[in-house]
A and B are shown apart, each in its own frame.
Chain A
Amino acid sequence: MAKITQEQKDYQQLVKNVKPKPPYLKNIVMAFLVGGLICLIGQLILNFYISLGLDSTKEAPSATSATLVFLGAFLTGLGVYDKIGKRAGAGSIVPITGFANSIVAPAMEFKSEGYVFGVAAKMFVVAGPVLVYGIASSALIGLIYYVVKF
């Protein structure tokens, strides 16, 4: 990386002062409302599966995840999820429906490059890092747990 000069620093300071800021409060309120709503729907689905007799610690949460993933994927296919995301920001990115969106969006987008190099290869361009860091950190924590315990 090239060295940053004083002139560049001064200019970036000027830019920082004049450039319009995102509507912070509105964004946070929308993220809270939409994120909360998605979790509330998740709770409805969870209670529904528990009422069907699924085990409340493992089976019902798994079924809930799969259902929410389906909803996120379907709304992405219909072209609705990005419209929600435009207003909700993190409110629709952070829930598991957003994880589904991040998988379906590139899969659809790169269909024009074929089903192997396009759909399949690009499916995890956005969601891949979440799996990598999630799985790697869980394995690391598992290792620490194992060493401490045994």
Chain B
Amino acid sequence: MKITFERRAALSRPVLLAAPLIALGLAMLTSLILFAALGKPAGQALYSLLLEPFVGWYNISEVLLKMGPLMLIAQGLAIGFRANVFNIGAEGQLIIGALCASALPVYFPEGDSPLMLPAMIALGAVGGAAWAAIAAGLRVRFNANEILVTLMLTLIATQVLNYLLLGPWKDPHGFNFPQSVTFPDAALLPILLAGTRVNISLLGAFFVSALAYVMMRHRFSGYQLLVGGLAPRAARYAGFTEARAVWVSLLLGGLMAGLAGACEVAGPLGQLQRSVSTGYGYSAIIVAYLGGLNPLGIVVSAFLMAALFIGGDNAMVSADLPVAAVFVFQGLLLVFYLGSLTFIRHRVILNWAGRA
């Protein structure tokens, strides 16, 4: 038998829509086998992972809570990815954003100014963007690979966080736990859905998604980034500079990650902790790709990924899965999705006779 791949004349719409579902199916199947091989109750694990997040208002609200930062960060990253600027360090930018936002309540723990919260949000956004700007500057000036730089900056950001929480910013009444003081009410985001932890930052994330859609679909600046990603030589030919694409991509990515960080400390956490991010910055990369780097697709994929997070937590408790199993599932999902993307551009021809 001979298998050949033939390029399609145009993108296949049905495959484009089916690809995430196929990836989900294959990832489920593989994990079933994997869980069974581990001797865990595979059916129970999948139920916890995939269905339980949608059972009951509390679970759904927790999914929405996780969805906000994932969506926000992924929208920023996707803009860069489409311009071939690969910001892998949203995790670090989120941490720095959270740090900067926390500075106000840490130094003014009794503050009650109505300006406190907006200032925190702004500081978070600026901090995240500034952290990403380091990578942009190094890339433009010295052609340093932004993948490596953003990744390594994440490690540095983690150490900065550790230093502050173990030293100067440690809550003096916190029984020596590495966390800051709990924030005053003026530093907390208003709750959106009464009785849950979902705050108004979710609306902000939707608003940012709409902005991202307008930018990539209708703005000339978004078009320039797309050209730079699809055909760098055409961008040079047209005079769209690469340096500008690098700056715009990394600053937007950092800004949104920083925003997400600020919204975490001013939202569900209410203080700065070492576990300020549970891997949002990395998971958002998967969210961006699963959403086809499309602002609308990302809204959907952020919801699914958030559900997976909640499901993963459930599965750890109910099916006794190790925490790594959840990451493995996420990884499988991305690998299968990227694999199925091949079929959007190509059709497979099976030739049973074995002759071309």
The answer to whether A binds B is no
A contacts, CB < 8 Å to B: none
Binding site for A on B (CB under 8 A): none
